[in-house]
Amino acid sequence: MREGAFFRGLARENPLLVYLLGLCPALAVSDLVSKALGLGAGVILVLLAAVAAARLLRPVIPERLQPLVWLVLVAALVSLVDLAMQAWLPALRQQLGVYLQLLAVNCLILGLVERLARRRSLSRCLRLAAGQGAGFTLALLLIALVREVLGSGTITLFPFGSFGGVIRIPGLSLHPARAVSLAAGALLVLGYLVALAGRLKAGRRRAEQRSAG
């Protein structure tokens, strides 16, 4: 049963936990849920645009030059997203800071653009890319939720009409475990999530072997 390309990106081949790609910006940005969502959206946007452009440009560009061209392509797209965010969401852009620009060298995006550019059907590429992007955002959201709830006792989203944007958790927000929202907490949370993902994957593989065997 071949899961749809989109869903494969979400769980089974969840980029962040299983392949640990694009780990660099994820951790530093995962102390607030709004920042995680912002970066996740950025990754999905850049990924879709880059894969589409690469898929179309591929026949035109000589083989040897392709890595360099993809690098420039992704960097240009990241700058575009950066400018757009500075225009419409300045507060979020300010919070993300350098880590949004770092998407230009993100292993996940560059790796995917390289891999997907060779695929034949454009729509399948886009669905795979969207799946991987959504998987990345989901995993990042998971880390951000754990870190922000424990580390600052709140869930910051985007202000919308009367809703101020910050959900305060009654008990925890008075005495949150601030260390969890520091760098140490990020590495710890990711460590346990990777262990969990590894155990789930091993469990699923054992289940498949048993059913296949």
Partner 1 sequence: MSFVGIIFTAVFVNNVVLYQLLGLCPLFAAAGSRRSALGLGLAVSLVLALTAPAVWALQHLVLVPLRLAYLQTLAFVLLIAGIFQLVRLAGLVLARLAPAAHRALGVHLPLAAVNCVVLGSCLLLVPGLSSAGRSAIAGLSAGAGFLIASVVLASIQARLRSEWVPEAMRGLPITLVSAALMALGFLAFDRVLLAKLFG
Partner 2 sequence: MRSGGAFALEQFPAPHLHEGTTTAGMMFSVVLCLLPAGLWGVLLFGPRALYVLAVSVGTSLLTELAVSGLFLRRFTLGDGSALLTGLLLGYSLPPAVPLFIPAVASFFAIAVIKLTFGGLGRNWMNPALGARVFVMFSWTGPMTRWAAPLAAADALSGATPLGLVKEALAHPVHGVRGPIELLLAGLHPAGLKAGFFPDLLQRLGRLTPAGYGQLALGTMAGCIGEGSAFLLALGSVYLFVKKIIAWEIPAAYLGSFSLLAWAFGGLPFGTGLFRGDVAFHLLSGGLALGALYMAADPVTSPLRRPGRILFGLGCGGLTFLLRTWGSQPEGVALAVILMNMLVPLLNRIGARPAAEVKK
- Using CB under 8 A, list all residues that contact partner 2: 175-180, 182, 184, 188
Q: How far is the CB of 192 from partner 1 (least distance, A)?
A: 7
The full DSSP string for 67-127 is HHHHHHHHHHHHHHHHHHHHHH-HHHHHHHTHHHHGGGG-HHHHHHHHHHTT-S-HHHHHH
**Choices 32-40, 98-106, 131-139, 164-172 (CB under 8 A): range interacting with partner 1:** 98-106
Q: Which is nearer to partner 1, 126 or 143 (CB)?
A: 143
**Is residue 207 close enough to count as binding partner 1 by CB under 8 A?**
no
Tokens representing 13 are: 């081949």
Candidate list 3, 12, 192, 205; residue touching partner 1; CB under 8 A: 192
**Is residue 65 close enough to count as binding partner 1 by CB under 8 A?**
no
Coil/strand/helix, residue 168 = strand
d(CA 111, CA 128): 13
d(CA 202, CA 126): 29
Per the CB < 8 A criterion, the answer to whether 66 and 58 are in contact is yes
Q: Which is nearer to partner 1, 123 or 209 (CB)?
A: 209
91 binds, among partner 2, partner 1, none (CB under 5 to 8 A by kind): none
Q: Which is nearer to partner 2, 101 or 173 (CB)?
A: 173
Q: How far is the CB of 146 from partner 1 (least distance, A)?
A: 13
Candidate list 56, 83, 91, 207; residue touching partner 1; CB under 8 A: 83
d(CA 133, CA 154): 25
Residue 17 is classified by DSSP as I
Q: How far is the CB of 181 from partner 2 (least distance, A)?
A: 9
